[in-house]
Amino acid sequence: MEDLITYRGAVAEGIAREMRRDPRVVCLGEDIGAAEGVFKTTTGLFAEFGPERIWDTPISEQAIVGAAMGAAMTGMRPVAEIMFSDFLACCWDFIANEMPKVRYMTGGQVTVPMVVRTANGGGLGFGAQHSQAVENWAFAVRGLVVAAPSNPADVIGLMVSAIRSEDPVIFFEHKALFASKGPQPPENHIVPLGQAHIARTGNDITLVGLAWSMPLVLEAAEQLAAAGVSAEVIDLRCLIPLDAATVLASVAKTSRILIVEENPFQGGWGGTLASIVADEGFYDLDAPVKRLAAACVPLPFAAHLEEEVLPSVAQAVSIARSMVEG
């Protein structure tokens, strides 16, 4: 039987693989050491690598990301944890003004090879300040690589690429996926940044997902198949670089596209992808480009209210059927 690993275990495994390979890799963040992270995503790292490479910080998001930058610019490969992605707002200067710009504004004199990992998204009832899907925040910044894996193998493969990248990477780990399981990938497993994955092939419609919305669109594709609709499913895996070519090639085949995002419709990443398809794929289309995203409200606490505002399988199936069946 195949070895399985959880998504949360894959986070620690991906980091550990690179730490074993490259002594320049160090981790810093709140409660990541002996406590092994509030989401247990750094389990085993402190035991294996010790306090010289796993550093507990104060609750100082600016110091965490800023110090990681300074270390990255002077020869290290830091992996910084921001506990909840909502807290990126506490160090937004560093995410939006510093990390992504120093290479450019110094005329290429410095590089910033670092990773900021963060637990993103809803589904666990943590309320409006601990549940947002904020991948669109990072998507709006020029100069950041943005990764958001949907399964354990991609977590490991993208983590390895992110740590090896010479560019700054925001790595969104999804809270609602931490307990999910998948095959343990072999040693040396790498997923290149900016390469989408065709998770299911089909002919009638393209469904695009990312991280949390991947299980949703895969289930929708299953239900559509039962209704006689053949859906192709694309896991973007990264927002920057954006693998628009894979999406356009799929649309050339299916002539329809539904983009399913967890972030709000207002300002969501699907808007940019939709504009690319509308422009460059226009003559392939048999139906309007559609987006299904979260409602434009803060994430409510109560489970039934949270469910109300996030995209659902039923909505995806209904929209897809109307696009195919007219």
Partner 1 sequence: MMEAEDEVTDIQVQDLLGWYEQMFEIRLTEKAAYDLFMSGLVKGTTHLAAGHEAVAVGTSAALRPDDYVWATYRGHHHAMARGLSAQACLAELMSKSTGSCEGKGGSMHLTSASTNMMGSYAIIGSHLPMAAGSAWSALLRKSGQVSVAFFGDGATNIGAFHEAINLAAVWKLPVLFICENNLYMEYTPISSVTAVAHPAADRAHAYSLERIVIDGNDVVKVRDAVAESAERARNGQGPSIIECLTYRHYGHSRTDPAKYRPEGELEEWLIRDPLKIATERILAMGTAQTQIDEVEQRARLRVEEAIQAAKDAPLSPPSEAYTDVWADGGSRWRT
The reply on whether position 241 binds partner 1 by CB under 8 A is: yes
Closest approach of partner 1 to the CB of residue 53, in Å: 8
The reply on whether position 35 binds partner 1 by CB under 8 A is: no
Closest approach of partner 1 to the CB of residue 190, in Å: 17
The reply on whether position 103 binds partner 1 by CB under 8 A is: yes
The reply on whether position 75 binds partner 1 by CB under 8 A is: yes
The reply on whether position 250 binds partner 1 by CB under 8 A is: no
Burial grade of 69 (CB within 10 A; 0-12, 13-18, 19 or more): buried
Closest approach of partner 1 to the CB of residue 15, in Å: 16
The reply on whether position 326 binds partner 1 by CB under 8 A is: no
* Binds partner 1 by CB under 8 A, chosen from 143, 215, 267, 271: 143
Q: Is 146 left (phi over 0), alpha (psi -120 to 50) or beta?
A: beta
Under a CB-based contact definition with an 8 Å cutoff, are residues 51 and 33 in contact?
yes
Binding segment (CB under 8 A) for partner 1, from list 119-127, 159-167, 219-227, 316-324: 159-167
And the tokens for 128?
A: 């409006």
Under a CB-based contact definition with an 8 Å cutoff, are residues 167 and 19 in contact?
no
- In the complex with partner 1, the residue whose CB is nearer, 55 or 265, is 55
Footprint (CB under 8 A) of partner 1, residues 274-313: 276
The reply on whether position 242 binds partner 1 by CB under 8 A is: yes
* Binds partner 1 by CB under 8 A, chosen from 97, 129, 275, 322: 97
Q: How far apart are CA 171 and CA 163, in angstroms?
A: 10
Could you tell me how many residues make up the chain? 326
The reply on whether position 3 binds partner 1 by CB under 8 A is: no
And the tokens for 203?
A: 């002919």
* Binds partner 1 by CB under 8 A, chosen from 6, 42, 57, 263: 57
Q: Report the sign of the C-alpha dihedral through residues 191, 263, 82, 240, in that order.
A: positive
And the tokens for 295?
A: 């409602």
Q: How far apart are CA 310 and CA 54, in angstroms?
A: 36
Q: How far apart are CA 295 and CA 298, in angstroms?
A: 8
Closest approach of partner 1 to the CB of residue 277, in Å: 12
Phi/psi of residue 16, each to 5°?
-60, -40
Residue 130 is a catalytic residue: yes
Binding segment (CB under 8 A) for partner 1, from list 120-128, 165-173, 176-184, 291-299: 165-173
Q: Report the sign of the C-alpha dihedral through residues 9, 67, 122, 245, in that order.
A: negative
The reply on whether position 76 binds partner 1 by CB under 8 A is: yes
Q: How far apart are CA 198 and CA 120, in angstroms?
A: 23
Sites of contact with partner 1 (CB under 8 A):
26, 52, 55, 57-58, 60-63, 65-76, 78, 93-94, 97-98, 102-111, 113, 142-143, 165-167, 194, 240-246, 276
List active site positions.
130
